């Protein structure tokens, strides 16, 4: 089994799930709950629950929230390598979910923004392992040196590298060309349709995947209700897989992270792309049917 090393963000998600359409400028009844979050930590949690060997490298505050997030990751079976920041709090994200399951996020990265190259455990970078980098860690100027250093360590060790673009708005703020240049050494890029449009200027998923393929040998595009597609060098047509049915979408938060976790193990085991896509859609469907971005402990 290939060990997967995830470099990324660790958050506490405060999720407000509206029971009715939002009453703008007034009150809307909602259920409010707190969950472990952060795209990188979410991927690690889903990987561990699905049976993968995974280590997560990140930064947390010295607060109770940080201790709880640390214990949660260990509860999932993740080898959590968290550096405790004495000055910054654990990252926090306010997630507003409509009655239809659509979400809007407001994030304070907290300790995540101080992740540094010195925080990277050198014993995790070994031949035969795989590095997965959360795009949030790349686009945040504070944590960017750590993400780039991790990619360099992985390259020297002969590890494969995947990058998830994470979210369209932060990538757009960072700039398409800088993001492409920073992540160009990755062998696999995960994007959704909105992120692909930001990076390529193309609205058509297949056209965007072909453009991105000039930068990355393999591209996976998450297409929500339309499933997912895989495109690689030399392939005339992309491989597609349909989304798996979900009786009721509760919360879309973390579904893309769950997809990455489902895709990576079969891809690393050199299974056919269609099988890896189907595995990704399987975990994404599980995430859509539950509140919060992580599997239940």
- 82 half-sphere exposure, CB direction, 13 A CA radius: 30
Q: Provide CB contacts within 8 A for 64, sequence distance 6+.
A: none
Q: What span, in angstroms and rounded, lies between the C-alpha atoms of 8 and 1?
A: 22
* Full pLDDT tens readout for the chain, 297 residues: 799 999 999 999 998 989 999 888 999 999 999 999 999 999 999 999 999 999 999 999 999 999 999 999 999 999 999 999 999 999 999 988 888 877 788 999 999 999 999 999 999 999 999 999 999 999 999 999 999 999 999 999 999 999 999 899 999 999 999 999 999 999 999 999 999 999 999 999 999 999 999 999 999 999 999 999 999 986 778 999 999 999 988 888 899 999 999 999 999 999 999 999 999 999 999 999 998 899 988
Q: What is the pTM of this model?
A: 0.95
Beta bridge pairs of residue 80: 56
φ and ψ at 224, to 5 degrees? 60, -125
What does DSSP say about strands 79-85 and 160-164: parallel, antiparallel, or unpaired? unpaired
Domain 4-288 bears CATH identifier 3.40.50.300:
no
Domain boundaries, the chain: 4-288
The pLDDT value recorded for residue 234 is: 65
- What pLDDT is recorded for position 95? 87
Cα 25 to Cα 183: distance, rounded to the nearest angstrom? 41
Strands (E), 21-77: 30-37, 54-61
């Amino acid at each position: 089994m290939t060990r997967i090393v995830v470099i990324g963000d660790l958050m506490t998600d405060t999720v407000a799930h509206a029971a009715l359409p939002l009453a703008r400028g007034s009150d809307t009844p909602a259920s409010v709950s707190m969950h472990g979050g952060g795209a990188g930590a979410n991927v690690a949690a889903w990987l561990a629950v699905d049976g993968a060997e995974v280590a997560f490298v990140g930064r947390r505050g010295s607060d109770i929230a940080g201790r709880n997030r640390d214990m949660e990751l260990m509860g999932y079976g993740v080898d959590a390598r968290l550096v405790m920041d004495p000055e910054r709090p654990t990252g926090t994200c306010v997630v507003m979910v409509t009655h239809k399951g659509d979400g809007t996020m407001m994030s304070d990265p907290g300790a995540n923004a101080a992740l540094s190259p010195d925080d990277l455990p050198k014993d995790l970078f070994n031949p035969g392992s795989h590095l997965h980098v959360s795009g949030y860690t790349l686009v945040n100027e504070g944590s960017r040196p750590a993400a780039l250093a991790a990619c360099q360590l992985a390259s020297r060790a002969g590890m494969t590298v995947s990058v998830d673009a994470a979210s369209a708005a932060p990538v757009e703020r960072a700039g398409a060309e800088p993001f492409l240049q920073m992540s160009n050494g990755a062998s696999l890029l995960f994007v959704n349709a909105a992120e692909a449009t930001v990076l390529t200027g193309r609205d058509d998923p297949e056209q965007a995947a072909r453009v991105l393929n000039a930068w990355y040998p393999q591209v996976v595009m998450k297409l929500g209700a339309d499933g997912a597609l895989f495109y690689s060098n030399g392939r005339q047509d992309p491989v597609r897989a349909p989304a798996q049915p979900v009786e009721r979408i509760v919360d879309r938060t973390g579904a893309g992270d769950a997809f990455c976790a489902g895709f990576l193990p079969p891809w690393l085991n050199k299974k056919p792309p269609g099988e890896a896509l189907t595995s990704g859609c399987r975990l994404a469907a599980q995430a859509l049917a539950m509140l919060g971005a992580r599997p239940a402990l």
